[in-house]
Every structure is written in C-alpha cells, then in structure tokens.
Amino acid sequence: MNRIRTRRSRTALVVVALVATGLLATGAGGSVAADSRTGGTLTIGLAEDPDALDPTLARTFVGRMVFLHMCEKLYDLNARLQIVPQLAAALPTLSGDKKTMTIRIRRGVRFNDGTPLNAAAVKTSLDRHRTLSGSARASEISPITAVQVPNNYTVRLRLNARFSPLLAQLADRAGMIMSPKALDQLGTRFASAPVCVGPFKFTSRTAGDRIVLDKSQTYYARSKVKLNRIVFRIITDTSARAANLRSHDINVLDRIASTDLPAIQRDRSLRVLKATSIGYQGISINIGNKNGLGKPFQNVGTPLASRRALRQAFELSLDRKVINRVVFGGTVLPGCLPVPPASPYYDKTIKCPGRDLNRARSLIRSTGMSTPIHVRLMIGTDQVAARLGQVIQSLARPAGFQVDLAPTEFVTALRRQDQGNYEAFAIGWSGRVDPDGNIYQFVHSKGSLNNLGWGTGRMDLLLDNARKAATTSARKTLYKAAFRVLRSELPLIYLWHPVNRHGVTANVKGVRQYGDGLIRAYFAEYR
C-alpha cells in the first residue's frame, strides 16, 4: 500500500512540475509587452520576414519598408514618384560631362545615437556600399569610382561613365546613411542594432515574429512624428494576416490577398490603400542560358527558345484578362511592358494583344512543328502560383501547347534560373523607379541578371544610350524603341503589374503608399 501511495504522489508531483514548467515556458515566450493602443503604438503586419537590417546587405522588399521608418536616405520619392531630397539638402548638380555629381548635405541632422550627420559620415556609408564584401549595393552604384569630401557638408561623386539611373539608386538603399559610430562598434554585425537617421529608432527584433521601433528623440523633424512606437509583426499566412486586420490586432496590413479582399472591403472599420506597382510579373523564357549566368550564350534548343514564332504563339494563346479574373479576382493590372502605365516612360501606343487562338495555331503551323508543343514552366509553391500555372495550362492547351508545371521552392528556382536549368519561369520583379532598373540587367547582353541568355546588339545600344542620355524625352524615345524589340522578340512575356493593396484600420490616418508599394506610416497618427 505504501509503495502505491508514493507512486501516486510521485505522479502527482510530476504532473504539477509539468504544469508549472509549461506555464513558465509560455511566460518566457512572451515578447516585449505592447503599449496600450491609445498610447500610440502602430502595429503593421508584414507578409514576410525581412532579411538582415543592414542597408549594405539587405535584399528584401519588406526590408525596405522597415528601413523607411528608421533609416533615411540621401533622396526619396514623393507621391508622384519624383525624386526629392531627404538627407541631401537639394537635388544634386552634375558636371558638364555628367561624370561628377555634387550633393549638398542637410545641416542640423543627427543620427539616432546623437552623432551628427556630415559629409564624412556620408562618405563612410557610400564607401561601405561600394566596397564591403558581399555588398548588395555594389552593382547598383558601380560607376562610382571615388567619393570626395570637399567640405563638411558637400559630397562629390566621381563616375567612370555617364549613369542616369544613379539618382534613383540614391533614393533607395544605396543612399541610406548609417551612423559611423555604430559601424565602428558593430562592423558587419550592424544588423543586430542598426542606427541611422530616422523618425524612429531600432529597439528590438525577434526573428520570424516582430521588429520594434521607438520614436527617435534626435530626429530633425520630430514634430511631425505622432506615434510612440511602431511594431512590425511577421504574419506570413495571408488569411491569418487578414483575420488579424479585421480583429484590429494589427492596424496596417501588407498586401491583401485577392481572396481576402472582399471581406476587408465590406468592413466599415477598414480602409484599403491601393497603388499599382512599378514592377511587373510575367514569364521569363530561357533562350540562350545554357552554361550559366555570365557565361557565353548558346541557344538551349527548346521549342520556345528556338522559334520566335512559337513564343509569339504562346503569348497569343494566353488571355491576360482571364488570368486577372480567375487567378487574382480582377485585382491586378494586365500589361505587356516592363513598366506600368503610370511611368513617364510608358508607351501608350503599344496595345497589349488579346487572346487569338487562330493566329496562335497558324503561327505554330508555320514553323512546321508537330503539336502538342511541350513547355516546362517553373512556378512557385504557393497557392496563387498553383492557380496561375493551371490557368496558363488551360489557356495554352487549345492552341497546341502542352504546359507541364514544375512547382519549385523559391531559392532553388533562382539557382536553377541562374544555372540555365529551366525552360520557362513565372517570375517578376518588384520594380525600380528608373526604367533602367526594370530592364537593363535582364535583357542587356552584359546585364548582371540576364539569365534569359538573350541579347542583341541593337537592344544593347538602345539601353546603353538610354543610360547616358541626359533628358527624359531622349530616354523615352530610346526606351520606346527598346519596347518594340521586346514585343517582337518576346524573351520575356510580361503579363501583369501587381496592384499593391494595403489595409488600414479606419482609426489611423496618415498611412501612405506610393507606387513603389512600400507602406509609409512614419507620420501616421490615431484619430
């Protein structure tokens, strides 16, 4: 009897211990407690977890959203996607030969650790962007050969060639200036506690969960900042994100999925910020990437690679409107160019073709190839990609194409694209303000991301001149010609421009979204 009683109490003890551990453990899982809503904390639900919060190394789209709130740049965009000065005092001046750019720095600005912003600090950051091992910015500002500091508030950039897109690059991560003191202390670990100039400063980050920013006490325009704190919560599941917005657990939602949109639109307590992206989505066709990125081109021999007529037929078998309706519930903007209609470089005279099965079939017949023509299409592994792939399959079949889908995880897909180990890939580009950022590296024969393995002398000439051209109208003419080449050769079939819809609770005002798709809540406030 005694043994049994001890056993029972022993079991009881174990149970109690487990319960206690359980509760303690969950307590340990609690993160920094959020301030009360009325105290001015804004919670933004992000669709992905940003990578390293280091402007030199960062590569993700969502990372740019976080940077917007804590790391200002030399230049920024305004609502009309024009470039305006931010840490610079004014737009830069260019020398006569356009190979020297002079930038004046704004005065009276302090980093979030109190140190002053001056030309030396700008030089430190720019040099780091140019030369740090593993820098993602180096190729963006590669024409810069030297950064000079003639006086405390002036920076002079020397270029080895004319480079019109430079200003746009300085309006993105390449223009972000980091605190030299923090760089000194942290070096390559800058991302663990980043310090820049910003309306908010970095407080803490839990991987895969949240990033916390607090109001900066040293920001030069403090009076415009109304919130005390911004919390970025990472919620990768789209319906979970939408559910959180509807329950007001988050105030702002990054990119509402088309399947969640109707419920959010019906909700009176929510608003939707809509802006067409400056990027594109489409199908990249491997034409000559047989040996890998950067190696000499060699036609890969697939049907789509070997015959331009087949690429044209493929495009004609697709129906952009149906794709929009069925895959996205009509929420994206069909298109056939690398820049969206809102861009000043867009060519209104180019009309996107509708579906034309007859012409598609006759194009196929003209090549003499027997149907069905096999196309192996690499797509993503998410549900939207699955829908897209299956719709493309359905649309292309009656024309005589047999599309086989290869759902591939993203990183692997990028690797295969670089190696040339693919036939066609449904992929897009988040977009850059300057059209060069949407075109050059993909279709110039020396482009750093040209994994299509395609390039022509004529296209190269057009793009190089567009880089050097001084006026917008000159560049427009050049890009217009480039678009015509793209439309007839179709190395890339552009299908649509994403329309970024961000959700906001109605009790918050001042949250903005420009065409670059980034959430801007730095001057937001509660009503």
Partner 1 sequence: MGAFILRKAGAALIVVFLASVLVFVGVRAIPGDPALAYAAEDRDPKVLADIREKYGLNDPLPVQYVRWVGLALQGDLGTDSRGLPVAETIVTRIPLTLELAFLAMLIGTVIGITAGVIAAVRRGKASDYAATTTALLGLSVPHFWLGLLMIIVFAVNLNWLPASGYVPFREDPVENLKHMLMPAIVLGTGLAAVLMRQMRSAMLDSLGADYVRTARAKGLSEWSIVGKHALRNSLITVTTVLGLQLGALISGAVVTEQIFGIAGFGRLTVDSIAQRDYALLQGVVLVVAVGYVVVNLFVDVAYSLINPRIRVAGTSN
Partner 2 sequence: MSYVEARPLGARARRRRILRRRFLRRPAAVASLLIVVGAILAAVFAKWVAPYPPEETDFEALLASPSREHLLGTDDLGRDTLSRIIWGARASIQAGFLATVLAMVVAVPIGLIGGYYRGWLDTVIARVTDVLLAFPFLILAVGLAAILGPSLLNATLALGIAAIPPLIRIARGETLALREEDYVRAAVANGANDAVIIGRHILPNMTSTLLVQATLTIPAAIIGEAVLSFLGLGVQPPTPSWGVMLNAAQPYLNDAPSLAVYPGLAIVIVALAFNLLGDGLRDVLDPKTER
Instruction: Return residues touching partner 2 (CB under 8 A).
Output: 238-239, 257, 259-260, 262-263, 322, 325-326, 381, 383, 386-387, 389-391, 393-394, 405, 407
The residues of the shown chain that bind partner 1, judged by CB under 8 A, are: 4, 7-8, 10-11, 14, 18-19, 22-23, 25-31, 33-34, 49-54, 57, 59-60, 133-136, 138-139, 188-189, 191-192, 205-209, 234-235, 237, 239-240, 243-244, 247, 249, 293-294, 381, 409-412, 414-415, 418, 448-449
Smallest distance, partner 2 to C-beta of residue 381, A: 5
The entry of partner 2, partner 1, none near residue 325 (CB within 5 to 8 angstroms by kind) is partner 2
Residue 122 or 256: the one with the smaller Cβ distance to partner 2 is 256
Residue 101 or 385: the one with the smaller Cβ distance to partner 2 is 385
The entry of partner 1, partner 2, none near residue 448 (CB within 5 to 8 angstroms by kind) is partner 1
Write out the H or E segment, with its range, that includes residue 100.
Answer: strand 100-104
Using CA atoms, how far apart are residues 354 and 337, in angstroms rounded to an integer? 14
User: Which residue reads 């899982």 in tokens?
Assistant: 29
Using CA atoms, how far apart are residues 514 and 503, in angstroms rounded to an integer? 14
The entry of partner 1, partner 2, none near residue 135 (CB within 5 to 8 angstroms by kind) is partner 1
Smallest distance, partner 1 to C-beta of residue 29, A: 3
SS3 sequence, 344-359?
A: CCCCCCCCCCCCCHHH
- CA 18 vs CA 11, 13, 30, 130: distances in Å: 11, 8, 19, 54
Q: Single out the residue of 154, 155, 157, 201 nearest to residue 178, CA to CA.
A: 201
The entry of partner 2, partner 1, none near residue 84 (CB within 5 to 8 angstroms by kind) is none
Residue 3 or 348: the one with the smaller Cβ distance to partner 1 is 3
Residue 204 or 394: the one with the smaller Cβ distance to partner 2 is 394
In the beta sheet, which residues pair with residue 282? 427, 494
Residue 79: both structure tokens together: 């609502």
Query: 364-380 burial by CB neighbour count: b if 16+ within 10 A, else e?
Result: beeeeeeeebebbbbbb
The entry of partner 2, partner 1, none near residue 370 (CB within 5 to 8 angstroms by kind) is none
For strand 100-104 and strand 144-151, is the pairing parallel, antiparallel, or unpaired?
unpaired
* Cβ 265 vs Cβ 504: under 8 Å: no
Smallest distance, partner 2 to C-beta of residue 425, A: 16
CA 29 and chain centroid, separation? 31
The entry of partner 2, partner 1, none near residue 206 (CB within 5 to 8 angstroms by kind) is partner 1
H helices present in 397-471, as ranges = 410-419, 436-443, 457-468
The entry of partner 1, partner 2, none near residue 404 (CB within 5 to 8 angstroms by kind) is none
Backbone φ, ψ for residue 174 (5° rounding): -65, -15
Given phi > 0 = left and psi -120 to 50 = alpha, else beta, which region is 400? left
Cis peptide before 372 (omega within 30 of 0): yes
Q: Is 276 helix (H, G, I), strand (E, B) or coil?
A: strand
The entry of partner 2, partner 1, none near residue 338 (CB within 5 to 8 angstroms by kind) is none
Smallest distance, partner 1 to C-beta of residue 9, A: 12
Residue 263 or 333: the one with the smaller Cβ distance to partner 2 is 263
Smallest distance, partner 2 to C-beta of residue 378, A: 12
Residue 260 or 434: the one with the smaller Cβ distance to partner 2 is 260
Smallest distance, partner 1 to C-beta of residue 191, A: 4
Smallest distance, partner 2 to C-beta of residue 412, A: 9
Using CA atoms, how far apart are residues 199 and 191, in angstroms rounded to an integer? 18
The entry of partner 1, partner 2, none near residue 78 (CB within 5 to 8 angstroms by kind) is none
The entry of partner 1, partner 2, none near residue 472 (CB within 5 to 8 angstroms by kind) is none
Q: Which amino acid is at 468?
A: K
Smallest distance, partner 1 to C-beta of residue 25, A: 4
DSSP notation for 147-187: EEEEETTEEEEEESS--TTHHHHHTTGGGB-B-HHHHHHHG
Smallest distance, partner 2 to C-beta of residue 212, A: 30
Residue 68: both structure tokens together: 């917007």
Smallest distance, partner 1 to C-beta of residue 51, A: 5
